[in-house]
Amino acid sequence: MSLKEFRIDVDADGVALVTWDQPGAPMNVITLAMMQELSAVIDRIASDDAIKGAVITSGKDNFSAGADLNMLQGARVEFEQRAAKGDPEEAMRVFFGETRRLSQLYRRLETCGKPVAAAIRGLALGGGFELVLACHYRVMADDGATKVGLPEVQVGLFPGGGGTQRIARLMATPDALQFLFKGQQIKPSMAKTMGLVHETAAPGEVIAKARAWILGGGKGVAPWDVKGFKNPSGKVFSPVGMQVFPAANAIYRKETYDNYPAAKAILASVYEGLQLPMDLALQVESRYFAHILRTPEAAAMIRSLFISMGELNKGARRPKGVEKSKLRKLGVVGAGFMGAGIAYVSAQAGMEVVLVDRDQAAADRGKAHAEAQIDAQIRKGRATAETKAALLDRITATPDYAALAGCDLVIEAVFEDPKVKAEVIARVESVIGDDVIFASNTSTLPISGLAKASSRPANFIGIHFFSPVEKMLLVELIIGRQTGDRALATAMDYVRAIRKTPIVVNDARGFFANRCVGAYVQEGHRMLLEGVPPAMIENVGRMAGMPVGPLALNDEVALDLGLRIARATKAEAGDDAVDPDQLALLETMVEGEGRLGRKNGKGFYDYPEKGQKQLWPGLAKLQKTRLDPDTLDVTELKQRLLVVQALEAARSFGEGIVTDPREADVGSIIGFGFAPFTGGVLSYIDGMGAPAFVALCDRLAATYGERFTPNAQLRQMAKDGGSYYPKLQAAAA
Contacts of 519 (CB under 8 A, 6+ apart): 644, 645, 647, 648, 707
Secondary structure of residue 221 in the 3-state scheme: coil
List the catalytic residue out of 136, 198, 369, 464.
464
Q: 8 phi and psi, to 5 degrees?
A: -120, 120
What region, left, alpha or beta, does residue 454 occupy, with left being phi > 0 and alpha being psi -120 to 50 degrees?
Answer: beta
On whether the CB atoms of residues 30 and 99 are closer than 8 A, the answer is: no
Q: How far is CA 202 from CA 139, 275, 493, 525, 615, in A?
A: 10, 39, 35, 56, 51
Q: 350 phi and psi, to 5 degrees?
A: 100, 5
Contacts of 330 (CB under 8 A, 6+ apart): 343, 346, 351, 352, 353, 354, 407, 408, 409, 410, 411, 494
> What is the 3-class SS of 225-292, one letter each residue?
HCCCCCCCCCCCCCHHHHHHHHHHHHHHHHHHCCCCHHHHHHHHHHHHHCCCCHHHHHHHHHHHHHHH
On whether the CB atoms of residues 605 and 618 are closer than 8 A, the answer is: no
Q: Which of 150, 140, 135, 222 is nearest to 181 (CA)?
A: 150
CA of residue 525 relative to chain centroid, distance: 28
Contacts of 195 (CB under 8 A, 6+ apart): 170, 171
Report DSSP letters for 492-528, one per residue: HHHHHHTT-EEEEEE--TTTTHHHHHHHHHHHHHHHH
Report d(CA 320, CA 196) in Å as an integer.
46
Catalytic residue flag (residue 464) = yes
- Exposed e or buried b for every residue in 400-418, given b needs 16+ CB within 10 A? ebebbeebbbbbbbbebee
On whether the CB atoms of residues 41 and 3 are closer than 8 A, the answer is: yes
Contacts of 301 (CB under 8 A, 6+ apart): 155, 156, 157, 676, 677, 679
Helix, strand, coil percent values for the chain (each to nearest 5): 55, 10, 30
On whether the CB atoms of residues 546 and 559 are closer than 8 A, the answer is: no
Residue type, 317: R
Secondary structure of residue 149 in the 3-state scheme: strand
Q: How far is CA 396 from CA 326, 334, 343, 508, in A?
A: 20, 13, 10, 34
Report d(CA 490, CA 462) in Å as an integer.
12
Q: In what order do the strands lie in the sheet with 185-186?
A: 123-125, 147-149, 185-186
On whether the CB atoms of residues 463 and 492 are closer than 8 A, the answer is: no
Helix ranges (H only) for 85-146 are 88-99, 101-110, 127-133
On whether the CB atoms of residues 201 and 141 are closer than 8 A, the answer is: yes
Report d(CA 270, CA 231) in Å as an integer.
12
Neighbours of 425 (CB within 10 A): 24
Residue 592 DSSP one-character state? I
On whether the CB atoms of residues 355 and 339 are closer than 8 A, the answer is: yes
Report d(CA 400, CA 574) in Å as an integer.
40
Relative orientation angle of helices 278-293 and 163-170, to the nearest 10 degrees: 130
- Tell me the catalytic residues: 464
